[in-house]
Structure 1
C-alpha cells in the first residue's frame, strides 16, 4: 500500500461548519487510526488547514476513503490536495 499526504485547506467561511462536525471528524480519524488507515494527522497551528497521512492502494482509493470523512461529507473544507508520498526515513512501516 502507498502512503498519501492529504492537505485540507480551511477558510473562515466554513469555520462554523467545521466546529459543528469536528467531533464526528475526530471520531472517524480515531477509528481509522486504530484500523491502521490513518498514520498521523493534525491541524496547522495557523488555522489554515490540516495534514492527514493515510494508506491506500491508489489515488482513487485514497479519494474514496476520504469521502467517508465527515468534514468532506459535510463540505467543511475549502480545498483538498492528495499526493502520494515516499518515506525515506520515518516511523511508518512499509
Structure 2
C-alpha cells in the first residue's frame, strides 16, 4: 500500500451545498477511517479546502477512492491534488 496526500480545494460558490452534504461526507470519511483507508483528514481553518491522508494500492486506486466521496459526487470540490509520499517519521 502506498500513502497519498490529497489536497481538496473547495468551490467557493458551493458552501451551502457542502453544508447540505457534510453529514453524508463525514459519515463516509468515518467509515473509510474505520476501514483503514483514511489515515487522517481535516479542513483548512480558512475554509478553502481540506487535507486527507489515504492509503491505496496506486494512484488510480486513490482516484477511485476519492470518487466515492459525497463531496466529489456532488461536484463540490473545485480541484484535487494527489501526491504519493514516502513516510520518514510518524504513526502511519
Q: TM-score category by the smaller chain?
A: over 0.9
Q: TM-score when scaled to structure 2?
A: 0.97
List gaps (5 residues or longer) in structure 2: none
CA distance in 2, matches of 1:6, 1:20: 22
CA distance in 1, matches of 2:72, 2:12: 16
List gaps (5 residues or longer) in structure 1: none
Alpha-carbon shift at residue 17 of structure 1 (Å)? 1.3
- Cα deviation, 1:26-74, whole Å, max 9, x if unaligned, reads 0000000000000000000111110010000000000001111000000
**4+ aligned runs moved over 2 Å, structure 1:** none
Q: TM-score when scaled to structure 1?
A: 0.95
Aligned residues: 92
